[in-house]
Structure 1
Amino acid sequence: MTTQADLGIDVDVRDAAAVAERRDDLVAAVRDHAGRIAYQLALLQGGDYGRETLSTPGGEWTVKHEAGELEFLLFSPKSGSDTYVVSTKQPPEPAALATALDDYAAFVAAWNDYVASLSGVLDDVSAEFPEPTTTDGVVAERDRVLDAIRDTCAIIAGEVHRYESDDYGTFTARVDGDRWELKYDEGTVSYLRIGGSSGLYLLSQYGAPSAADVRAHAEGFRGFVGAYNEFVDELEADLRNVSL
């Protein structure tokens, strides 16, 4: 059996467990302490995610939270590599942790100064605001126009349904370059759409269009009704030429 002596090695291997244990204890303490800062930051920012970077004589500290829980604490010294003092990955190197912790008290002081700088910032802000104007009148006018459009479309749907003798169908017309489509279901209006499958629904089973859209297309609807009337007139003229 080969021994250390046979290999000419007579050096003790130091046990790193004590150093690692001390490192882990320090990281846990910082996690608990900085976690309070992360929670306060979440309250201050009002979001589920956030971060803040604060400057100290030794460098910069970045604290990041997720739902108020500390996600990481990063120390970026003025010279040297960044150190994640707290993170979801591997713990920091002991020497890098020692360097960071020498500046940690300055980080806490910078946080306290940051919070103090915001104290009273809203004291002179009034919470009295102008009363917002209701849209009741606009909505009522929009609905008045839509009701008239719906009533007219119901007549057209009923007439086309009677003429075509189909339970389901459409009547389409092109008005000023726009394609208008009225779809009926057993004689009742299913929708009135302008501009193809990705266009605007002036009438549908969903919500009403905006008042601006109704205004923009009200005149076009007149043209749509006119196109329907012309369609019926042409049918009548064609049938009058049929002799038996």
Structure 2
Amino acid sequence: MTEIPFEAASADDVVGRRDDFVAAVRDHAGQLARDLARLQGGDYGREAFRTDDGTWTLKHEAGDLEFLRFEGAKTDVYVVSTKQAPEPEALATALADYEAFVDAWDEWVAGYEGLLDDVPSEFPAPASTAEVVAERDRIVAAMRATADRMAGELHRYEGTDYGSYTARVDGTRWELKWEADRASYLRVGGEGGTYLLSQYGPPSAESVREYAGGFEGFVTAFDDHVAELEAAMKGLDVGE
């Protein structure tokens, strides 16, 4: 086999130095990214910093450096990114302006000094919701006790562990679903309506105020339903 009579220069040294510079910038700019995230808030953010030679864009994701980009007259390069390492010559051009970028950062941060000096840090005490919540809970507990008793009666009469009873009160659909002798839920307004009783949590005080009167009508409708069942049973003649 014929040997090539010369050796090609290795790029290892250049690549190694390039990677060292990128790692150093990643560490330094990474701290700036964390500070940017703390200052701006949110999970994502970016900020542009202008120098005499170009514009630096710093972007973070959840406080971690996403990329650092330099856009100048002679080059446009991602100094740090998650995609690929920069070309060495473009990196060298960008790093010649890196100190100016840091100066622009310092000036930008200084612009926030004194921003909160006149902002009040003492506030009036908010009114307590304890009283209205206690009253809401008292009414809901009374509804729960009545609905559970209705559920028990339905469970005993129907002989099934699950079921529902519906009635219309002033044109609005009410539904009581039972599981054994306990109300699984009490819903007003059909699917997508308001749950006055459920396994997830109490209704709002506004909903209780709006529908408490209707609940009385719902119970009355239930009582009428039971009375009709009793009348129908009394009319049966099974003979001897």
TM-score range, shorter chain: 0.7 to 0.9
Note the alpha carbon deviations across 1:190-244, whole angstroms, 9 max, x for none. Answer: 3212344544321123311111121222232233123212212322333343344
Alignment-derived partner of residue 107 in structure 2? 113
- Structure 1 residues without counterparts, runs of 5 or longer: 6-10
Alignment-derived partner of residue 31 in structure 1? 26
Give the secondary structure class of the aligned counterpart of 1:38. Answer: helix
Alignment-derived partner of residue 224 in structure 1? 218
Alpha carbons 2:44, 2:60 under 8 Å: kept: yes
Task: Provide the C-alpha distance between the structure 2 equivalents of 1:224 and 1:152, rounded to a whole number of angstroms.
Answer: 11
- Structure 2 residues without counterparts, runs of 5 or longer: none
14-23 or 141-150, larger mean C-alpha shift = 14-23
Q: For 2:51, give the aligned amino acid.
A: T
Deviation at 1:96, TM superposition (A): 1.3
> Of 167, 170, 184, which residue of structure 1 is paired with 2:164?
170
Task: Provide the C-alpha distance between the structure 2 equivalents of 1:80 and 1:215, rounded to a whole number of angstroms.
Answer: 70
Give the direction of change, closer, same or farther, for the CA distance of 1:174–1:80 in structure 2 (3 Å limit).
farther
Matched, 1:43 2:38: yes
Matched, 1:235 2:235: no
Task: Provide the C-alpha distance between the structure 2 equivalents of 1:230 and 1:64, rounded to a whole number of angstroms.
Answer: 68
Alpha carbons 2:177, 2:184 under 8 Å: kept: yes
Equivalenced residue count is: 238
Give the direction of change, closer, same or farther, for the CA distance of 1:139–1:19 in structure 2 (3 Å limit).
same
- C-alpha RMSD of the superposition: 2.7
Matched, 1:65 2:66: no
Alignment-derived partner of residue 160 in structure 1? 154
Alignment-derived partner of residue 17 in structure 2? 22
Task: Provide the C-alpha distance between the structure 2 equivalents of 1:216 and 1:60, rounded to a whole number of angstroms.
Answer: 59
Alignment-derived partner of residue 8 in structure 1? none
Alpha carbons 2:79, 2:91 under 8 Å: kept: yes
Alignment-derived partner of residue 185 in structure 1? 179
Alignment-derived partner of residue 207 in structure 1? 201
Alpha carbons 2:75, 2:93 under 8 Å: kept: no
Give the direction of change, closer, same or farther, for the CA distance of 1:55–1:175 in structure 2 (3 Å limit).
farther
Give the secondary structure class of the aligned counterpart of 1:154. Answer: helix
Q: For 1:54, give the aligned amino acid.
A: F
Note the alpha carbon deviations across 1:41-99, whole angstroms, 9 max, x for none. Answer: 2332344543322222222211123454433211122x466311012232111221122
Deviation at 1:135, TM superposition (A): 0.6
Q: For 2:104, give the aligned amino acid.
A: A
Identity %: 59
80-89 or 200-209, larger mean C-alpha shift = 80-89
Give the direction of change, closer, same or farther, for the CA distance of 1:34–1:154 in structure 2 (3 Å limit).
closer
Deviation at 1:152, TM superposition (A): 2.3
Task: Provide the C-alpha distance between the structure 2 equivalents of 1:36 and 1:148, rounded to a whole number of angstroms.
Answer: 58
Matched, 1:95 2:94: no
Give the secondary structure class of the aligned counterpart of 1:229. Answer: helix
Q: For 1:39, give the aligned amino acid.
A: R
The two structures have a TM-score, normalised by structure 2, of: 0.84
The two structures have a TM-score, normalised by structure 1, of: 0.83
Q: For 1:156, give the aligned amino acid.
A: M
Alpha carbons 2:37, 2:63 under 8 Å: kept: yes
Q: For 1:70, give the aligned amino acid.
A: L
126-135 or 89-98, larger mean C-alpha shift = 89-98
Note the alpha carbon deviations across 1:6-27, whole angstroms, 9 max, x for none. Answer: xxxxx97444333323322322
